Amino acid sequence: MAFDSYHEAIWESVPEGLDPPHAELRERFLLEQVRVLARERGEPPRVLDLGCGEGHFAAQLARAGAVAVGADVSREALRRARARHPELDLQVIPLCGPWPLADARFDLVWAGETIEHVVDTAAWLSEVRRVLRPGGSLLLSTPAHGRVAMLALALSPRRFAEHFDPRSDHLRFYSARTLRRLLEDFDFEHIDVRGAAGVPGARSLLLACARRARL
């Protein structure tokens, strides 16, 4: 199956109208950073919701006053987003090759529960850097794979097999340390990676904020 058909099949198997996981928590994280950026710049920030799905976060960004663009590799996801939020600026981006977005167009890129699905992480982060202005911010969330979580999985063969099912659409698995190192390797700075959701010591979600180096 071609990769584009693969992503379409995934979306076609998902019921429409589901709330994104940890939606309220991730909204607070995202909109807090947007408000800080708006105060710093004195104008509405330009924000790309990368992997926007049905448009939940892009719509929240627009309501908060940001100039929001939603982008996804799945035409089915964008069809749903247009039906739910016809006012949004939504664009399809290719799985491979440059995105049809101008250099340094955005003040902030938001990628919620997206990076774990990316095949070519290096190319993806290179495009994120390209469309961000120098000093612009990358915010992302992804499932957490810290030591306690991995130990819990290792102690249960059934849960381990389910979590790492090779048919899953999750292709990458991040801890706070590996995510931070990845962002450092792509010349992001002022990197903050924190655990969220779950319980202390066994968080289920990572929230990351980083800035593109100005040079």
Rounded to whole angstroms, the Cα distance separating 66 from 16 reads 25
The whole-number average pLDDT for the span 198-209 is 86
Residue 10's region, left for phi above 0, alpha for psi from -120 to 50, else beta, is alpha
The whole-number average pLDDT for the span 55-60 is 97
With bands split at pLDDT 50, 70 and 90, how would you rate the model's confidence at 4? Answer: low
The whole-number average pLDDT for the span 159-177 is 81
Catalytic entry in 113, 116, 184, 189: 113
Crossing angle for the helix pair 3-13 and 75-84, nearest 10 degrees?
40
Rounded to whole angstroms, the Cα distance separating 24 from 214 reads 32
Give per-residue burial for 86-113: e unless 16+ CB within 10 Å, then b: eebebeebebeeebebeebbbbbbbbbb
Average pLDDT, the chain: 91
* Amino acid type, 99: W
> Is the predicted pLDDT of residue 80 greater than 80, yes or no?
yes
With bands split at pLDDT 50, 70 and 90, how would you rate the model's confidence at 215? Answer: confident
Provide the CATH number for the domain around residue 84: 3.40.50.150
- pLDDT for residue 37: 92
184 is catalytic: no
Query: How many domains are there within the chain?
Result: 1
For the chain, give the longest Cα–Cα distance: 53
- pLDDT for residue 3: 52
Per-residue pLDDT tens over the stretch 13-26 = 888 988 898 999 99
- pLDDT for residue 208: 98
* Prediction pTM value: 0.90
For every residue of 80-92, DSSP letters joined together read: HHHHH-TTSEEEE
Crossing angle for the helix pair 56-63 and 23-41, nearest 10 degrees?
40
With bands split at pLDDT 50, 70 and 90, how would you rate the model's confidence at 69? Answer: very high
Minimum mean pLDDT range among 86-90, 116-120, 143-147: 143-147
Domain that holds residue 68: 3-212
